[in-house]
Amino acid sequence: MNPNERPEPGLDGSLDPFGSGAGRRGEFSVDGSSVEAGGLETAAGSDGAVEYSTGTTTVGLVAADGVVLATDRRASLGGRFVSNKDVVKVEQVHPTAAITIAGSVGAAQAYAKQLRVEADLYENRRDRRMSMEALSSLASGLLRGLPVSPLLGGVDPAADGAGEPHLYQLDGAGGRIEESAFAATGSGMTVATGALEREYDTDTDIETAVPTAVDAVLAASERDTASGNGVVVARVTGDGVETERRDGTGALMNGANGGAR
């Protein structure tokens, strides 16, 4: 694939250019190898460079009082060499919203930064926070052509402090789908989705949803070589975004609670 060409739609007819395995090279390079947030080697490009599809495991769950986002903590080279065991793949982009990262590390970090800046600029100019509908529209537009497959979870704050939770699945063709229950992305998504189908309860609250999300990521880590080394969990509510790190058994790590931001 020519790296300057825009990715084509997936073979299954979807607008996700990465679902078919038509990956693009990552942004970080060590000795000519691309660093992915859980990348899987697919093929050699026309210039002889190895190309990668998106990897990792990220999940999102809608609860009555917020959204739970969870990801593994592994970064790999081609899904074969673990380059980092403590990568935070959840980025806050709004006072009450965050995204998960699956795909190219460099592209994902730049994307999250741009989305955060745009949301801050909107609030400064209009003296009000961007709604989740507007934020998701902006997020899907900025994503076009990028080798990143994120989930966006956020809450529109209400006067009583509870707010309305929203979860969106975004793709590199600019697509946006709001999920009413849960979603998963990355190379471990098949196993994670099965775990979520089994354990998710439509009447769940955010504290009950956390272990469900953690179990889904850990289940995927058992079978997917690009996922592992524990879990990062984010609770997204009308009060903000709170993150924590858990080890490979799902236990909370000492001093790992990031607190509300």
Q: Is 225 a catalytic residue?
A: no
Locate the DSSP E strands across the chain.
28-30, 33-35, 40-44, 50-53, 58-63, 66-72, 75-77, 81-84, 90-94, 97-100, 151-156, 164-170, 176-179, 182-185, 231-237, 240-246, 259-260
In the sheet that 97-100 helps form, which strands lie side by side, from edge to edge? 90-94, 97-100, 151-156, 164-170, 176-179
- Rounded Cα distance, 233 and 124, in Å: 29
Q: Which of 42, 56, 96, 185 is catalytic?
A: 56
Q: Which residues pair with 246 in a beta bridge?
A: 231, 252
- Residues with catalytic roles: 56
